[in-house]
Amino acid sequence: RESDGPADDDVTVPGLPPLLRGHPDIHLRNGVMHASHLAASGESDAEKAFFVADLSYVFRQHERWDKNLPEIEPFYAIKCNPDPYVLRLLAAVGAGFDCASIGEISRVLELGVDSSRIIFANPCKATSFIRNSAKAGVDMMTFDNTDELYKIARVHPGAKLVVRILTDDSKSLCRLGLKFGAPLVTVPGLLTKARELKLDVIGVSFHVGSGCFDSLAYADAVERARSVFEMGREAGYAFSLLDVGGGFEDVTFEATASILMDAINRYFPDRRGIRIIAEPGRYYVSRAFSLAANVIARRAPPALDASPQDLDVDPEQPSVMYYINDGVYGSFNCILFDHQVPQPYVLSLNGSFHVPASVPLRPCSVWGPTCDSIDCVCPVTQLPDALQVGDWLAFENMGAYTVCAASQFNGFEVSNVIYTTGGGAGAAEVRRILKKALEDC
Ligand code: PLP
C-alpha of residue 141 to centroid of ligand 1, in Å: 14
Atom of ligand 1 nearest to the CA of 172: 15
Query: What digits encode the pLDDT tens for the residues 133-190?
Result: 999 999 999 999 999 999 999 999 999 999 999 998 888 888 898 889 999 999 999 9
DSSP E strands, 10-125: 26-29, 32-35, 50-54, 72-77, 96-99, 118-120
Worst-scoring range by mean pLDDT, 122-131, 147-156, 356-365? Answer: 356-365
Give me the percent of the chain exceeding a pLDDT of 90. Answer: 73
C-alpha of residue 101 to centroid of ligand 1, in Å: 13
pLDDT of 105 strictly over 50: yes
State how far the Cα of 118 lies from the Cα of 138, in Å rounded to an integer: 7
pTM of the model: 0.90
Band of the pLDDT at 33, cuts 50, 70, 90?
low
- Choose one of 80, 99, 162, 165 to mutate for the ligand 1 pocket test, by most ligand atoms within 8 angstroms of C-beta: 80
- Averaged over 57-67, what is the pLDDT? 96
Atom 14 of ligand 1, nearest CA residue: 281
- Our CA angle for 340, 431, 40, nearest 5°, is 85
From the list 99, 124, 364, 371, the catalytic residue is 371
ipTM rounded to 2 decimals: 0.99
Atom of ligand 1 nearest to the CA of 173: 15
Using CA atoms in the order 359, 364, 365, 370, what is the torsion angle rounded to 10 degrees? -80
Q: What is the pLDDT of residue 15?
A: 52
Atom of ligand 1 nearest to the CA of 100: 3
C-alpha of residue 54 to centroid of ligand 1, in Å: 22
pLDDT of 334 strictly over 80: yes
Neighbours of 48 (CB within 10 A): 19
H or E element that contains 436: helix 427-440
Q: What is the pLDDT of residue 408?
A: 93
Query: What digits encode the pLDDT tens for the residues 219-264?
Result: 999 999 999 999 999 999 999 999 999 999 999 999 999 999 999 9
- Choose one of 69, 86, 97, 98 to mutate for the ligand 1 pocket test, by most ligand atoms within 8 angstroms of C-beta: 98
The reply to whether 174 belongs to the active site is: no
DSSP state of 415: P
Give me the percent of the chain exceeding a pLDDT of 70. Answer: 86
Mean pLDDT of the chain: 88
